[in-house]
Amino acid sequence: MALFCLSCSWVAGIFLGFKITLSWIFIFGGLASVIPIILTGIKRKTVILAGLCFIVLIGGAYRYHSILDTGLQFYNEQEITVRGMIEESPEVRDKLIHVRLKTTHIRLAEEWSEVKGTALVFAPRYADYSYGDILSVTGKLETPPRFDDFDYRAYLARHGIYSTMLYPQIEVLERDKGSPVMSCIYGLRERLSRTLAMVLPEPQASLAQGIVLGIRGNMPSPVKDSFSRTGTAHLLAISGLHLSIVAGIVIALGIWLFGRRHYLYVWLALAAIWFYVLITGMNAPVVRGGFMASMFLAAELLGRQRSAMTSLALAAAVMAGYNPLVLWQVSFQFSFLAMAGLIII
Of all residues in the chain, the percent with pLDDT exceeding 70 is: 90
Q: How confident is the model at residue 36 (pLDDT cuts 50, 70, 90)?
A: low
Nearest to 1 by CA among 42, 32, 41, 45: 45
Query: What's the farthest any 2 CA atoms get from each other in the chain?
Result: 71
Dist. CA 57–CA 63, nearest whole Å: 10
5 vs 43, more confident: 5
Q: Which of 37-41, 89-93, 239-243, 341-345 has the lowest average pLDDT?
A: 37-41
What are the distances in angstroms from CA 54 to CA 6, 316, 328? 9, 18, 23
- Backbone phi, then psi, for 76, in 5-degree steps? -60, 150
Q: Which of 28-42, 200-214, 259-273, 319-333 has the lowest average pLDDT?
A: 28-42
Burial pattern 162-187, b for ≥16 Cβ within 10 A else e, equals bbbbeebebeeeeeeebeeebbebbe
Q: How confident is the model at residue 74 (pLDDT cuts 50, 70, 90)?
A: confident
Q: Are 255 and 297 spatial neighbours (Cβ–Cβ below 8 Å)?
A: no
pTM higher than 0.85: no
Dist. CA 210–CA 91, nearest whole Å: 13
Virtual CA dihedral for 320, 158, 54, 6, nearest 10 degrees?
Answer: -20
Q: How confident is the model at residue 31 (pLDDT cuts 50, 70, 90)?
A: low
Q: What is the DSSP string of 36-105?
A: HHHTTTS-HHHHHHHHHHHHHHHHHHHHHHHT----GGGGTTEEEEEEEEE-SPPEE-SSEEEEEEEEEE
Dist. CA 136–CA 101, nearest whole Å: 10
pLDDT, tens digit, 9 for 90 and up, residues 274-300: 888 887 777 767 777 787 778 777 777
Element spanning 247, H or E? helix 240-258
Residues 6+ apart with CB under 8 A from 300: 263, 266, 306
Through-space distance between the first and last CA atoms of the chain, rounded to whole angstroms: 19
Using CA of residue 214, residue 220, residue 223, residue 229, what is the dihedral sign? positive
Q: How confident is the model at residue 70 (pLDDT cuts 50, 70, 90)?
A: low
> Average model confidence (pLDDT) for the chain?
80
Query: Looking at residue 124, what is its pLDDT?
Result: 85
Does residue 145 surpass a pLDDT of 70?
Answer: yes
pLDDT, tens digit, 9 for 90 and up, residues 223-255: 888 888 888 777 777 777 777 788 888 888 888
Q: What counts of helices (H) and strands (E) characterise the chain? A: 13, 7
pLDDT, tens digit, 9 for 90 and up, residues 96-141: 888 889 888 888 777 888 888 888 999 887 778 888 888 988 888 8
